[in-house]
Chains A and B, each alone.
Chain A
Amino acid sequence: MKGNEAIAEAAIRAGCRFYAGYPITPQNELCEYMARRMPEAGGTFIQSESEIAAINMVYGAGSAGARAMTSSSSPGISLKQEGISYLAGAEVPGVIVNMVRGGPGLGSIQPAQSDYFQATRGGGHGDYRTIVLGPGGIQEAVELTMLAFDLADRYRNPVVVLGDGMMGQMMEPVRFPEGPPPSLSPKPWATTGTPGRDRPNIINSLYIEAEACERHNQHLLQKYREMELREVRYELVDPEAEYFLVAYGTSSRICRAAMARAVADGLRVGMVRPITLWPFPRAAIERVVGRARAFLTVEMSAGQMVEDVRLAVEGRRPVYFFGRTGGAVPTPQEVMDCLKMIREGRGGEW
């Protein structure tokens, strides 16, 4: 299946019954798939008037207790940030898929990873975090999309699936989990009408007094700490290696190809592949930092995740970076060349 379509199908199988979105390349197949399939599944598809409207529809549907999703690509995600901040502030679950393309501005329609800061730092206004899942292939995109809905409900928080144009457009065989859709736990906080309740439910992110707003922020912070404790996911390839690549999503696939070539050059190269980009898997770095000679972070950006890698390494080892921007994709050879330069002590600044 094509990545975009697989994610859409996974969402429906995870119990998503509300999708609102606005077309933008390279994620249009997701929107189109939802238009076909959602009515069959007894759900709602709306082609909204804007990305802003779409995320606010998700805010409404999520408030009313539905599993709700929207998807877009970089410039559209910038517009959605207003609503994502509201979802976080009002503790409304929702899933946001970003098939990242080159930027800034209108950028390109080619795959990129340059929305990492925006996704992992909150992105919108205020002190908040979203869990960010970075699939390394279509099968994993299916699994993580389904997980995203569970995590969104568990924490009453928006969850981002961060893919890229390549992930959206490429095709791979996928297997969907057998069995009926999950039976969803009740949401007693949802605004569904008041029968059986003596008090109305209010979904709100306004705390007009500083102290009250700070208390709310402390409550959210507590939740984010819990996510950091429980939700870290990563893959560690060859923990006994000398050099470690750090990469997620599409660049992790390029790194895998580079690793295969490295063997021929007598280099033992492992990989730390973050699956949750937030919370960032510092534990994976911790496991190998003692023996690693150096880290090389590879991204389709000017260097964003590398900051998290440096924070985790804390200066104990050199951390090098290689990236391409604007929609250009690094090649395994370029990664290999970087590794060789690092081995020869010509790695440049770190």
Chain B
Amino acid sequence: MQRIFSRPQALTGVPFHYCPGCPHGIVHRLVAECLDEQGVRERAVGIAPVGCAVFAYNYFNCDMIQAAHGRAPAVATGVKRSRPDAVVFTYQGDGDLAAIGTAEIIHAATRGERITVVFINNAIYGMTGGQMAPTTLVGQETTTTPRGRDASYHGHPVRIPEMLALLDGAAYVARVSVHAPGHVNRARRALRRAFEVQLSNQGFSLVEVVSSCPTNWGMTPVEALRWVEQHMLPYYRLGEFKVPGHGEA
């Protein structure tokens, strides 16, 4: 019998701990497929964040480092500069990357570190139980915005790829979504491109994945995907914001 579908080599067999309907599993798989396709699993060093994906080091079948909250890009910098042949990626959530780790991500990008950042934006703090994230939408209810996020009181949601695309050191910056099969394929292509940019030594690459959090949003998985499409995508515009050789899109 011909095998047409199997677990990527770059994933271990450890069952994911994620909540039902959480897209982390999809994105883990996409990243693993990229490492397999490009034949770099043995050269890969992944950096796990603090947050829901903290156990990523159990799931990726490559060398892994667990970093402090927000510091993954700095840790990745230390690895990449010491081992330029390593294929280094960070996997970070919105609290990790866009709040406590804002300085690290901006400066890793502006230095043009040859690393690939996978940024999961589900507009809420997952692991700590549903508090406001920097990416929480205006009007969105969380445990720390019980009456909805009020821009005049809580500030505005932050758009990371648009910010990073302005930086000269950033070579590839894109935003994708995994709420529907066609989008999953586009996300795979963006991630592949991000790793290619690293492998061809062109600079920093980041892919934001607009994601959902059924548990903390208080929705069924299907409702959550619909909410992504109806509420998140109008604010978080999908696309490639910067590609090598084309400057800012």
Contacts and interface: CB of A to CB of B under 8 A. Distances in A.
A5 B64 CA distance: 35
Given A60-B75, A83-B71, A68 B82 contact: yes
Nearest to B45: A191
A92 to B, nearest CB: 9
Contacts of B45: 64, 191-193
Given A49-B103, A60-B82, A64-B86, A193 B63 contact: yes
Contacts of B63: 191-194, 200-202
B81 A44 contact: yes
A66 B45 CA distance: 15
Which one of B54, B60, B82 has the highest number of Cβ atoms from chain A below 10 Å of its Cβ?
B82
Which one of B54, B64, B81 has the highest number of Cβ atoms from chain A below 10 Å of its Cβ?
B81
Interface stretch (A149-157, A203-211, A233-241): A203-211
B66 A204 contact: yes
A193 B74 CA distance: 18
B66 A200 contact: no
Interface string A48-63: 1110111011111111
Interface in B85-121: 85-86, 103-104, 106-107, 111
Interface stretch (B36-44, B136-144, B206-214): B36-44
Given A20-B78, A83-B68, A49 B104 contact: yes
Contacts of B83: 64-66, 192-193
A56 B86 contact: no
Contacts of A68: 78, 82
A49 B107 contact: yes
Interface band, chain B: 35 or more
Contacts of A60: 47, 65, 67, 74-80, 82
A61 B107 CA distance: 17
A201 B47 CA distance: 12
Given A56-B71, A192-B86, A202-B57, A61 B66 contact: no
B78 to A, nearest CB: 3
Contacts, number: 138
Interface in A54-86: 54, 56-66, 68, 82-83, 86
Nearest to A57: B78
A83 to B, nearest CB: 7
Which one of A17, A56, A194 has the highest number of Cβ atoms from chain B below 10 Å of its Cβ?
A56
A46 B54 CA distance: 27
Contacts of A18: 78, 81-82
B56 to A, nearest CB: 10
B81 A63 contact: no
B71 A52 contact: yes
A289 interface: no
A61 B83 CA distance: 8
B152 to A, nearest CB: 30
A195 interface: yes
Nearest to B43: A193
A195 B44 CA distance: 10
Contacts of A193: 42-45, 62-63, 83, 85-86
Contacts of A52: 71, 74, 103-104
A90 interface: yes
Interface string A261-279: 0000000000000000000
A46 to B, nearest CB: 7
A86 B75 CA distance: 11
Nearest to A58: B78
B61 to A, nearest CB: 6
Which one of A52, A60, A205 has the highest number of Cβ atoms from chain B below 10 Å of its Cβ?
A60
A203 B104 contact: no
Interface string B19-61: 0000000000000000000000111110110000010011011
A81 to B, nearest CB: 11
Interface in A321-338: none
Interface string A195-229: 10000111111100000000000000000000000
A59 B65 CA distance: 9
A62 B78 contact: yes
Contacts of A48: 74, 107
28 contacts: A20-B77, A48-B107, A56-B68, A56-B78, A58-B78, A59-B75, A59-B78, A60-B80, A61-B79, A63-B79, A64-B78, A66-B78, A191-B45, A191-B79, A193-B44, A193-B62, A194-B62, A195-B42, A200-B61, A201-B63, A202-B57, A202-B65, A202-B66, A204-B48, A204-B65, A205-B66, A206-B54, A206-B66
What are the 6 tightest A-B residue pairs by CB atom distance, in nearest-first order?
A60-B78, A61-B78, A56-B74, A60-B75, A191-B63, A49-B107
Given A57-B81, A60-B82, A64-B78, 16 more contacts: A17-B82, A20-B77, A44-B82, A48-B107, A49-B107, A52-B71, A56-B68, A58-B78, A59-B67, A60-B67, A64-B79, A65-B83, A82-B71, A193-B42, A200-B62, A203-B64
Interface of B: 41-45, 47-48, 54, 57-58, 60-68, 71, 74-83, 85-86, 103-104, 106-107, 111
